[in-house]
Amino acid sequence: MQKGKHYDVIIIGGGVTGAGTARDCAMRGLKTLLVERYDVSAGATGRNHGLLHSGARYAVTDQESAAECIRENLILSRVARHCVEDTDGLFITLPEDDLAFQSTFIGSCQAAGIKAEAIDPKEAILLEPSVNPTLTGAVRVPDKSVDPFRLTTANILDARLHGAEILTYCEVVDFIKDGSRVVGVNLVNNNRAKFTAYSEIVINAGGIWGQHVAEMAGTRISMFPAKGALLIFGHRVNNLVLNRCRKPADADILVPGDTICIIGTTSSRVPFDEVDNMRVTPEEVDLLLREGQKLAPSLAQTRILRAYAGVRPLVASDSDPTGRSISRGIVLLDHETRDDIPGFITITGGKLTSYRLMAERATDLACEKLGKEKACRTADVCLPGSEPEEPQPKTIFNLPQLSQLGQRAAKGRHGTMSEKISVKTEYDGSLVCECEEVSVGEVNYAIDELHVHNMVNLRRRTRVGMGTCQGELCACRAAGLLAKANGCAIQAEKDLASFLQERWTGMYPIAWNETISEVQFISWIYEGMCGLDNIAD
């Protein structure tokens, strides 16, 4: 075992919260290490709606969260411009809902500082033609859509630019303690190599897995895994976020995100031993479709790409371990005062929209403990890719190697960082993923710069394999590029097989109509023609 390096802060967890915390710490001049068991945004970060809440959803029940949301919503629209799409949202009242709720709702929104304006149902239909035409009321709110993969990647990139070290596929196996104080962690990476890292502070940003991290550190957090299932549709049905104007319930949000739209979610308690292996049940698919059609009837005739589920890291407050009053607010635990474990902090609860604030609070506490007086700047400094741009001359798209569509799609994904994508040769400009318009240049950029070790990583950074064909055309091309980059074809073959298996897992719950044809076609290509099923495992 080699002698471990020493850091100011070690952050456990590469979700958006961990990535945001790493960025904040690094920006404040702390020597930072982020460790992630798998890939960045592999957990709940990558398994939600991608909704940048205006706060309206929480306004009636939780004013504090609502006010928090709208503040963060406005900040992220500025500093994470390329990850956020300013869609606006509608809260619609259907005949089965109580229209009286609308005035309560608007009042609560306004109290929380959220612009909420009742509009005529006819105007709502004009604004969003996909909306259920039987609606009796509509309220327009500043909901937005956010790409959580992009957001996390941008935070990771910037953390690194500020000197943080990022280790993915690197799991904490236990804590090193000096008396009760946490002084470091023992780690094991995916080559089963063990090593140690020391730090003044360890921040647990493990989401639902944070309970296990806390246990390793010698304390307990009562988390309540709440499964949320969602469906992805093949294209955008709506361009405004659609919500139901009533108390939050199942499957009542339809969010347009990149080229697709997502309906969700269900909500059910799941046992802890299932959180690593979420499956979507037929009952959940039925529920999502049934309720989704009430928001936008055309969902009934829209191709479904996949079903997936995430686990919300809900935390029971310390005063109520039974879990009856589960908060959706931010939970920052100073284990020094709570459990007498100095050097250990947990940041959890919260939501995607408030990740930056969570990071700020965790970093504030870390700075306080380290005696570092440096103000948080993450609300002001743009993430890489979101820097303000000079108005571009019209001739920006004159690179013959890549189609206009391809160039615009890459720009949409990487913002100003798309300038780093090589388009020097025709080969660079040729497409890997045709559905999502991802070029060879973009894949190589991701491999070089964005912590890509395998195809799932690549998918999260670039959308390779996220489109309609679910890897049918792009998987083998991407595997080829990874084989070249890593110098190992055998690994790439195995990776390819497991990638396609992972794609099938998401298609299985909704495998009818075109999806089953597509799957059949994928299997002809990869099993029938390429003999991929003959590869070990």
Partner 1 sequence: MEQNRNDNNFEQCIKCTVCTVYCPLAAVNPNFAGPKQAGPDGERYRLKNPLYYDESLDYCLNCKRCEVACPSNVKIGDIIQRARMKYSKKRPSLRDWMLANTDIMGRLNTTFAPLVNRILKLQATKGVMEALLAIDHRRSFPAYSNHKFTTWFKMRTWQRSYKHYVTYFHGCYVNYNYPQLGKDLVRVLNAIGYGVHLLEDEECCGVALIANGLTRQARKQGMVNLLSIRKVVAKGEQVVTTSSTCTFTMRDEYPSVLGLDNADVRDSIVMATKFIYELMDSDQVRIAFREDFHKRVAYHTPCHMEKLGWAVYSTSLLRMIPGLELLMLESQCCGIAGTYGFKKENYVYSQKIGEDLFKQIKSMPVEVVATDCETCKWQIEMNSGIPVVNPISILAEAIDFEKTKKLNKVK
Cβ nearer to partner 1, comparing 430 with 491: 430
x/- site string to partner 1, residues 63 to 92, per CB under 8 A?
------------------------------
- Which residue in 95, 271, 400, 531 binds partner 1 (CB under 8 A)? 400
Tokens encoding 429 = 């400009």
Cβ 409 to partner 1, closest distance in Å?
Answer: 7
- Relative orientation angle of helices 489-507 and 513-523, to the nearest 10 degrees: 160
509 binds partner 1 (CB under 8 A): no
Of 149-157, 251-259, 414-422, 440-448, the segment contacting partner 1 by CB under 8 A is: 251-259
Q: Phi/psi of residue 204, each to 5°?
A: -90, 110
Distance CA 413, CA 390 (A): 18
For partner 1 (CB under 8 A), the number of binding residues is 40
- Which residue in 493, 505, 521, 530 binds partner 1 (CB under 8 A)? 521
- Which residue in 517, 529, 533, 535 binds partner 1 (CB under 8 A)? 517
Of 48-56, 375-383, 403-411, 497-505, the segment contacting partner 1 by CB under 8 A is: 403-411
DSSP H helices, 42-165, are: 56-59, 63-79, 101-111, 121-127, 148-161
199 phi-psi bin (left φ>0, alpha ψ -120 to 50, beta other):
beta
Cβ 383 to partner 1, closest distance in Å?
Answer: 21
Cβ 25 to partner 1, closest distance in Å?
Answer: 35
Distance CA 120, CA 2 (A): 68
Distance CA 491, CA 497 (A): 10
x/- site string to partner 1, residues 301 to 340, per CB under 8 A?
xxxx------------------------------------
CB-CB contact of 202 with 182 (8 Å): yes
CB-CB contact of 436 with 464 (8 Å): yes
In DSSP terms, 187 is beta-bridged to: 172, 195
Cβ nearer to partner 1, comparing 194 with 235: 235
Of 117-125, 216-224, 229-237, 439-447, the segment contacting partner 1 by CB under 8 A is: 229-237
Cβ nearer to partner 1, comparing 281 with 403: 403
- Which residue in 63, 189, 298, 416 binds partner 1 (CB under 8 A)? 298
Cα–chain center distance at 480? 27
512 binds partner 1 (CB under 8 A): yes
126 binds partner 1 (CB under 8 A): no
Cβ nearer to partner 1, comparing 166 with 410: 410
Of 102-110, 164-172, 199-207, 402-410, the segment contacting partner 1 by CB under 8 A is: 402-410
Q: State the Rg of the chain over Cα.
A: 23
Q: Kindly write down the DSSP assignment for every residue of 2-28, as one continuous string.
A: PPPEEEEEEEE--SHHHHHHHHHHHHT
| 3-class SS string, 196-219 | EEEEEEEEECCHHHHHHHHHHHCC
Cβ 515 to partner 1, closest distance in Å?
Answer: 9
Cβ 393 to partner 1, closest distance in Å?
Answer: 16
508 binds partner 1 (CB under 8 A): no
258 binds partner 1 (CB under 8 A): yes
- For Cα atoms 519, 525, 530, give the angle at the middle one, nearest 5 degrees: 135
Distance CA 408, CA 81 (A): 15
x/- site string to partner 1, residues 451 to 480, per CB under 8 A?
----------------xxx--xx-------
CB-CB contact of 238 with 277 (8 Å): no
The end-to-end CA distance of the chain, in Å, is 31
Q: Which of 147, 196, 201 is nearest to 167 (CA)?
A: 196
x/- site string to partner 1, residues 12 to 51, per CB under 8 A?
----------------------------------------
Three-class SS of residue 429? helix
Q: Kindly write down the DSSP assignment for every residue of 245-293, as one continuous string.
A: SSS--TT-EEEEETTEEEEE---EE--GGGTTS----HHHHHHHHHHHH
Of 50-58, 148-156, 234-242, 378-386, the segment contacting partner 1 by CB under 8 A is: 234-242
Of 74-82, 241-249, 385-393, 430-438, the segment contacting partner 1 by CB under 8 A is: 430-438
419 binds partner 1 (CB under 8 A): no
Of 198-206, 235-243, 351-359, 482-490, the segment contacting partner 1 by CB under 8 A is: 235-243
**Residues engaged in binding partner 1 (CB under 8 A):** 234-236, 239, 256, 258-260, 286, 289, 298-304, 400, 403-405, 408-409, 426, 431, 434-435, 437, 467-469, 472-473, 510, 512-514, 517-518, 521
